[in-house]
A and B are shown apart, each in its own frame.
Chain A
C-alpha cells in the first residue's frame, strides 16, 4: 500500500510537466499550429527559473523568469512561423537545438559546470497542503503536500476546458484552426489569434520547465527534459487538443515515467524500464493515429 501510494505520488509529480506542456500545446494545436518547440521552451525555462531562484532567493522570481524565458522563445517561434511563414516543424526543431546550446553555454561559462547546476541558495517551489484533505489519512497521503505547480496543473485542465469551449477566445482559437478563411472573412486576424496561442503555449511550457528544476528535481541538468517536450507533442497530437484527453494521456505517461524509475534493478537491467515512456509514446501515437487521423499524421 505504501509502495503504491509512493508510486502514485511520483506519477502525479511526473504527470505535471507533461500535462502543463501538453495543455499549452493544445492551445496552439486547436489554433492550427503544432508546437514543436516545447522541448527547448521547457529546457530554457527550467534553467532560467533555477538561476533566478538562487540569484534572488525567491521561488516567485524563479517562476516568473522561467515563464518569461519560455515566452521569449515562443515569440521568436511565432515570428518565424507566422510572420515569415517558415515551416513550424523546422523552426521548432532548430529552436530546440539552439536552446540546448544556450543552456550548455550558460552553465559552463557562468557557473563552470559541465552538465548539472545545483545551488544551496535555490529556493524551491513550496509544497501545498489542503486542510480539508488532512482529515482522511488516505487522501492526505495521496493528494496533499505536492509542490505548488502540481495542483495548479490539474486546475488548469478545467481552466483550459472552459476557455476552449465556453469563451470567445476559445471559439476564435478553434475557428483559426478549423476554418482560418472564415476567421479572416469575419474581420479577425488569424495570425493575431495564433500569436496569442503561441504566447499561452510558451507560458505553459515555461511552467512545465520550472516544475522540473524547481519543483521535481531541485536542480538543473542538461538532460532534465530529455524528450518530454516531444512526448508532450505526441500527447497533444493524439488528443487532438482536447484537454480531457490530454489529462488522461499525461497521467498514463506519468505512471510510466514513475514506474520506470522504480522497477528494482535486481529484476532487470535499468535500461529496460527506462525505455518504457518512449516505447509507450511510439505505441500510443501509432494506435491513436488510426482514430484521430487528421491530428496525428504529419499530413494535416
Chain B
C-alpha cells in the first residue's frame, strides 16, 4: 500500500469515526429526552424551529458558528503546540470589553478604520490576557490549566468592575457600556438576526490559521512541540517562543470572537455576554486540534446543537445547557472510538508482524 493511500484511508477512517460518533451521541440525546418524556417528533420539530426554519434562524445559527469556530481555534492552536488554553472565556470577555471601549470613545474615524482599530484592540486585549498564564507557564512552569481557569474568573470580576463603575453607560440600569459609535458597527447581514459582517473577519482569521498550519514553519513547529517536546528541542524548535506565540494567537482569536459579538451583535459590552462558550471551544479542540478543517466541521455541528437547544428551551422548557451535555457526550464517544480504533490497529499491526516473521 502506498503512503498516500494509507494517509487517505486514515483520514477517511477518522471522518467515518467522527460521523458515527456524532450520530451515536445525537441518538443518545434523543433517547435520553425520550426517556425523560419528550416525544422525538416534538424534539425534532423544536430543534428545526430554531435552526433551519427561516433565514433569520439560520443566520443566528451561523452567527453562533462564527463565535464557536473562533473560540475553538483559540483553544486548538495552543493545544496543538502542547499548551492548554481553557481561558477562552476570559480572553473573549477582555477582548469584547476593549473593543466596546474603542468603539465608543474613539470618534471621527471612517467606518473601516474604526472597525479595524476596535477589532485590533480587542484582539490585542485577548492576546495580552492569554499571555499572562503563558508567561507563568513558560517562565515558572505554573500549570496553565489552573491559571487559565483562574484568569476566566478574574476577567469576569475585572470587567464586571469596569462596566459597573468607570465605564458604565450613564443612566443605565444594567452593567454595560455605552453604545458604540455608528462607525464601529459591523453591518448586519440578515434582518434582525445576529449575523454581521464579522463573519468575514472570522473567515479571514480561519484562512490565516489554515495557511499558518499548512504552509509555514510555525505550523510545523507547533505540531512537533505538541507531539513530542524532547524531539522538538532536539530538532531546534524554539519551544518557549513558539508556545508563547501559540497562546497569544489563541487569546487574539478569542478576543476577536468577543469583538465580533460587541461590534456586530450587542453594540455595547454587556456583562456575561459570552455565556461560557469558551468551554465549547475547549471541547472541540480536544478532538479536532490536528486540523482546522475538522475544527470547522465539528464547530458547525456544535453550532447546530447550541442553536437547537434554543428551540428546545423555547418550546419544551429545557435548559439550554442541554447542549453542553450533548457536546461532552460527543467528546467522550469520539475519544472512546479513537481509543478502540487505536487498539484494533495495534492488534492488526502485531498480527502482521508475526505473519511476516513466520
Contacts and interface: CB of A to CB of B under 8 A. Distances in A.
Interface string B146-169: 110111011001101100110000
A297 B84 CA distance: 12
A7 interface: no
Contact of A98 (B150, B157, B161, B329): B329
A70 B151 CA distance: 26
Contacts of B83: 298
Given A84-B335, A93-B86, A271-B157, A104 B141 contact: no
B145 interface: yes
Interface stretch (B93-101, B206-214, B260-268, B319-327): B319-327
A89 B145 contact: yes
A227 interface: yes
B335 A86 contact: yes
A237 B146 contact: yes
Contacts of A100: 321, 324
Interface residues of B, number: 48
B229 A299 contact: yes
A95 B328 contact: yes
A110 to B, nearest CB: 9
Contact of B136 (A112, A227, A286): A286
Interface string A77-97: 000100011100111011101
B11 to A, nearest CB: 22
Interface string B121-149: 00000000000010011001111111101
Contact of A94 (B136, B153, B331): B331
Interface string B275-299: 0000100110010000000000000
B136 A101 contact: no
Interface string A198-235: 00000000000000000000000000001100110110
Nearest to B83: A298
A286 B328 contact: no
Nearest to A79: B336
Contact of B335 (A80, A89, A233, A275): A80
B318 A109 contact: yes
Contact of A105 (B86, B137, B319): B319
A10 B99 CA distance: 40
Contacts of A237: 143, 146
- Between A85, A97, A287, A289, the greatest number of chain B beta carbons within 10 A of the residue's beta carbon is seen for A97
Main secondary structure of the interface of B (DSSP, over half): helix
Interface in A219-268: 226-227, 230-231, 233-234, 237
A287 B147 CA distance: 13
B332 interface: yes
Contacts, number: 152
B302 to A, nearest CB: 12
B317 interface: yes
Contacts of A23: none
A90 B142 contact: no
B20 to A, nearest CB: 17
Contacts of B161: 269, 271-272
A60 interface: no
Nearest to B86: A93
- Between A36, A85, A279, A285, the greatest number of chain B beta carbons within 10 A of the residue's beta carbon is seen for A285
Q: Which 3 A-B pairs have the closest CB atoms?
A: A104-B321, A98-B328, A297-B141
20 contacts: A97-B324, A101-B328, A104-B322, A105-B322, A227-B149, A233-B143, A237-B146, A269-B164, A275-B157, A278-B153, A278-B154, A282-B142, A285-B143, A286-B136, A290-B141, A293-B141, A296-B143, A297-B142, A298-B141, A298-B144
Interface of B: 36, 83-84, 86, 133, 136-137, 140-147, 149-151, 153-154, 157-158, 160-161, 164-165, 229, 279, 282-283, 286, 317-319, 321-325, 327-329, 331-332, 335-336, 339-340
Given A93-B286, A104-B322, A285-B136, 8 more contacts: A86-B335, A93-B86, A98-B328, A100-B324, A237-B146, A269-B165, A286-B136, A298-B145
Interface of A: 36, 80, 84-86, 89-91, 93-95, 97-98, 100-105, 107-109, 112, 226-227, 230-231, 233-234, 237, 269, 271-272, 274-275, 278-279, 281-282, 285-287, 289-290, 293, 296-299
